[in-house]
Amino acid sequence: MSQLRFPPILKIANEDPVKFQDAIRDDYPLLEIINNVVLIGPENQLMTEPQKVEVTYQFSSEDLQWQVSLNKGFLAIATKDYKRYEEFKQRFKKIISVFEDLYKPAFYSRVGLRYQDVIIRSSLGLADQEWPTLIPQYIAPELHLPEVAEDTLASTKTLILKLETGQVAFRHGLVEAIDSGENLIEYAYLMDFDFFVEERTAGGENVWEKLDKYNHSARKLFRWSISDALHRAMEPTLVENEATANQL
């Protein structure tokens, strides 16, 4: 997923994005309009003024694998079928070009790129492998301690790292993965890399200077977070799907 935030554009809030939809409809023909209620007033106090509604337009591909979101303050793209960064970049470049031509944002206040990887052992042919052989001790020490490893059902950690441009919030831990088709529950390891910078960024190629760096850093951080054994098991997937087990 990638999201660009910008100073509010009232044109998006006050009229339907007809021209924007026409320009991307071949790739994203499905539309859902989401009305988010924004509470006005102090928390836990009775609202005496009408509540404010913020509209988000969500455009989806026919197979529902790709989604573009637009509201008065952000533009985003997300996919459940990530294969290569080059494809992701090509799609988002087209969206950004249309957006900038129509709405001419003054600048972007936040540029972000996020990867969520779920490592499911059975899908990699590693169902018989224990986590200590797959996840390094410096990432998940609790999985390497015999006295607690077998009893650890879930864990969540957050590591925030400073980058040359911006920072990354690395959230990871043991989670439950549910196979809805067979109604099976399997423990998996989630790795969530949220790269972002909150500073004034001009449009066009300036955005990609940051996103390209984040993509490169994501590959390095993911590799640092897994063992050599897991890396070898994922090698065919890495070539095809670019550093993911299950990319969201």
Q: Could you give the CA distance from residue 241 to residue 146 in angstroms, rounded to a whole number? A: 34
Q: Could you give the CA distance from residue 199 to residue 11 in angstroms, rounded to a whole number? A: 23
Binning pLDDT at 50, 70 and 90, where does residue 50 land? low
pTM comes to: 0.85
What whole-number percentage of the chain has pLDDT above 90? 71
**CB burial of residue 111 (10 Å; 0-12, 13-18, 19+):** buried
| 210-226 average pLDDT score | 95
User: CA nearest 36: which of 60, 69, 62, 59?
Assistant: 69
Over residues 67-77, the pLDDT tens digits come to 999 999 999 99
pLDDT reported for residue 4: 98
pLDDT reported for residue 244: 36
Over residues 99-114, the pLDDT tens digits come to 999 999 999 999 999 9
User: CA nearest 136: which of 91, 86, 191?
Assistant: 191
The answer on pLDDT for 116 being more than 90 is: yes
The number of C-alpha atoms within 13 Å of 64 and in the hemisphere containing its C-beta is 1
| 184-206 average pLDDT score | 93
The answer on pLDDT for 229 being more than 90 is: yes
